[in-house]
Amino acid sequence: MTFSIVINFIVIFIAGFVVDLLSTKYTRYIVTKKIAKATLLSGIITVVNFALLTILLKDNVSEGIYNILAFAGGNSMGTLLAMKRV
């Protein structure tokens, strides 16, 4: 595994982490009925998710699977951190 591939996985992991933190913030805005903020975050999350999915799936099948696993790992860690902070 080359250095650039490892860096790519780390960046994807961090992106998944940040997306999940944004999703948690979005959910909090819904619960507290902050409509404008929830609406804005909903749009941002949708655009970021589609952009990231395009990036994740552009590589060959085996590397794409590793990208998806890195993204899912970042999502899981984002959930863990967000839930522990509540």
Verdict on whether the full-model pTM lies above 0.85? no
pLDDT of the residue at 84: 83
pLDDT of the residue at 31: 94
Evaluate whether 84 touches 29 at the Cβ level (below 8 Å). no
Q: Domain ranges for the chain, please list them.
A: 3-85
Return all residues near 81 (Cβ < 8 A) that are at least 6 apart: 17, 21
Condensed to tens digits (0 to 9), the pLDDT of residues 27-78 reads: 989 999 999 999 999 999 999 988 888 887 776 767 778 888 999 999 999 9
pLDDT of the residue at 75: 92
Please determine, for residue 86, whether its predicted confidence score (pLDDT) is greater than 70: no
